[in-house]
Amino acid sequence: MRKPVQVSIYVDEGCWAGVAILIKELLVIAGTLHSRNFDLDASALFQITLAGPSEAAVRSFTGTMITPDQAIRNSGPPPQVIVIPPYYFFDAQAVPVRANFRRWLVRAYERGAILLGFDGGVRVLAASGLLDGHEVTGNLSDQKAFAQHYSPVRFSPHVPLVTDGRIVTATGTAPSMDACAYLVNHFYGEAAAHKFSRYTNPVRRPVYERTELIDVVLKNHADHRIRQAQEFIERHFNQDISVEDAARRAAMSLRNFTRRFHTAVGMTALNYISHCRVEHAKKMLELRGGPVLQVALECGFNNEASFRRAFHQICEQTPMQYRKASMMKKKPSATP
C-alpha cells in the first residue's frame, strides 16, 4: 500500500488558525472519500503535521493557542508538501522570516516539495526568496508590499488560484479548496480529485475556477514550463491571444514550445486555446440565452463562423444543438 504523502502545515505567531485546521481536515476528508472508510489512519492519503518554529504553543491572529505537533527540522526527510496558511499584516513592510524556517523551506523545495501559500501566507513565502521569477496570487491589499519588497515575483492578485511549477497560491475560501483538490490530483489522480471537489465544493463555481479543474487532467505531465503556459492560456483565452504569446510566457522559442506542448499535453497549443474557449462557451450556453455571436465574442472567437467550427469539432454538435440539449436536461420529467 502506498505511504501517505507527508504534508507540513507551518503555524507561527499571527497565523490564521482556522484555515490551518481547515486545510488539515480537507486533506483528511480526501482520504475518507477516496477509500469510503471512516478509519482515519487506514484511509489516509496525506500524513499531516502542524510544524512550528519550536514545539511551544503559538498564538494565532485571534489569540487562539496552537500547539505544533513538532518543530521544523533541517535534518531527516523533508515533507513533500509545505503549506503556509494566511497571515494578516497591518502594513506593507517586508516580512521578517526566521533563518531556520528559510533553510527548512529551501531544503524541502530543492528536494522536490510543493509549496502552498494562502492569502497573506504568500508574503511569508515571498520573503524566503523562493517565489522570485514565479507568478503568484494573494491579497489585493498586498500589492504595495510586493511592488516594494518582492518585485522579482509576478503578483496577480485578481487570479484566485495560480499554479506555477511546484508553487501553488490561492486567495479566498473556494480557491483554497481547489488548491487542495490540485494536491489530491497531483498525487492520486483525477478521479480522487473529482470526488473530493464534488463533496467539498459542490456549488457551481465561476468559470475561472471551473476551467482550472476541467483541464487538470491535461496537466498530468512533468513539464513545468508548459503547465505555466497552460495556466496563462486558461486566464486569457477570452482575449486575442496567440500561440506566440503563450511561447513568450514560457520563455521559449516558438518551435521548441510547439514541440514540447504537443508532447506534454497531447494536443497543439492552438487546439488548447480552442478547448478552453469552447469549455467556457458550453457553460454560457447552459446558463443563458442570447445570440450565438455574443457567446462567440465573449469566449475569444473573432466571428461566429470560427466559433461554430471549433465547437462542432470538439463537441460534435452545433452550439444551438448543445443549448437545446442542455435545456431539455433541465426540464423536470413528467410524473405519471
**77, 104 in Cβ contact below 8 A?**
no
Report all structural domains of the chain as residue ranges with CATH numbers, in order of start: 5-203 (3.40.50.880), 233-329 (1.10.10.60)
**pLDDT reported for residue 331:** 63
**pLDDT reported for residue 208:** 39
**pLDDT reported for residue 234:** 86
Q: How far apart, in whole angstroms, are the C-alpha atoms of residue 107 and residue 7?
A: 15
Residue ranges in the chain modelled with pLDDT below 50: 203-214, 333-336
**pLDDT reported for residue 308:** 94
Query: 240: how many CB neighbours lie within 10 A of its CB?
Result: 8
Strand stretches in the chain, DSSP E? 5-10, 46-52, 58-59, 65-66, 70-71, 81-84, 114-118, 135-136, 154-155, 161-164, 167-170
